[in-house]
Amino acid sequence: MHAKYLTLLAENKLEERVIALEELLRSCTVCPKDCGNDRLKDEIAACYSGRLPIVSSYTAHFGEEPCLSGTKGAGNIFFGNCNLRCVYCQNYQISQTHKEQKKNEITHERLAEMMLELQDRGCHNIGFVSPTHFAPQMARAILIAAQKGLRLPIVYNTNAYDSVEVLRLLDGIVDIYLPDLKYADSDAGFQYSKIRNYKEHARAAIQEMHRQMGDTLVFGGDGLLKRGLMIRLLVLPNGIADIESNLRWIRDELSPKTAISLMAQYYATNKAATDDRYILLSRRVSEVEWFEAVSLLEDLGIEEGFMQEYESASHYYRPDFNDAEKPFRDIRDFQQETI
């Protein structure tokens, strides 16, 4: 099964999509913040980003779900900056340091080269991490890379605070959606990610992803995921993520067959580790909290997906982007179980 963007390329429709996406940068509506800045003229938006993409790291990554990491790794490309400001962000070294990230600004052509390098290394897919604010730039680089021989599936690894209009334009460009559904309550979104109306926008975005992909995960003969939607749910301490409400919404509004990835990797970092205003996030998830979340999968009839191992998860996903080439040195020990 070939990557979907190759069909658009063959039909001479891929560039049309790219141009439509780039037009959204003119008065930026690339994410629900709707800043209105002209990023084509390099006006800096609320995400601290302008016309060109910012890439903080690109590497073969072994910490994704097994069907993505495989044996040779997911070819992850980590964009700098972010449209959220999560106080517990594990990638805060690159997501919340916009002045330092300016030096990582690159051309679309260089981004395309990175994809081709990862393909040459044997990576199983190209995974864009925090792509929302750079979706048009991502699409332009995919076009360039596809014209030069890129064939791998595209993974859109997002915080889910995405524009439905942008997602519709990405239909047929993205092969795998991997959204984090962070909260079931927008007050929590504002308190801990500094964003209003998170729940409403994230759920609308995921509904659009589901419209495109449906419930079926499509695997290749190698057992690796080639197409589909998998929703990540990170369990936070003290019930802040409200996993039950989000699982009920997924079951009732999407389908009990929609794939879930339940994650235990939370640990207190960034402001959650130092600021008393976020004391409820100042510890890892307890064993009781984790297994309560796990039990909900069966209780609510969730049928498909993965869950992390509790004991190891919070110890192994601790990136250090000071080492841009290998920010996840110990991630190979990380495992996930099938639901």
Q: CATH no. for residue 247? A: 3.20.20.70
Residue showing tokens 């709707």: 34
Structural domain contains residue 336: no
Residue 251's Cβ-count burial label (10 Å; 0-12, 13-18, 19+) is middle
Residue range(s) defining the domain that contains residue 201: 5-326
Distance CA 104, CA 80 (A): 8
Structural domain contains residue 297: yes
- Provide the domain count of the chain: 1
Structural domain contains residue 256: yes
Structural domain contains residue 331: no
Torsion of CA 204, 281, 334, 227, to 10 degrees: 0
CB atoms within 10 A of CB 216: 13
No. of H helices and E strands in the chain? 13, 10
Distance CA 328, CA 137 (A): 25
Structural domain contains residue 269: yes
Q: pLDDT of the chain along its 339 residues, tens only? A: 789 999 999 999 999 999 999 999 999 999 999 999 999 999 999 999 999 999 999 999 998 999 999 999 999 999 999 999 999 999 999 999 988 889 999 999 999 999 999 999 999 999 999 999 999 999 999 999 999 999 999 999 999 999 999 999 999 999 999 999 999 999 999 999 999 999 999 999 999 999 999 999 999 999 999 999 999 999 999 999 999 999 999 999 999 999 999 999 999 999 999 999 999 999 999 999 999 999 999 999 999 999 998 886 656 567 656 666 666 665 544 456 667
Structural domain contains residue 209: yes
Q: What is the pTM of this model?
A: 0.94
Q: Where are the strands (E) in the chain, listed by range?
A: 55-61, 74-79, 126-129, 154-158, 176-179, 218-219, 225-234, 259-263, 305-308, 336-338
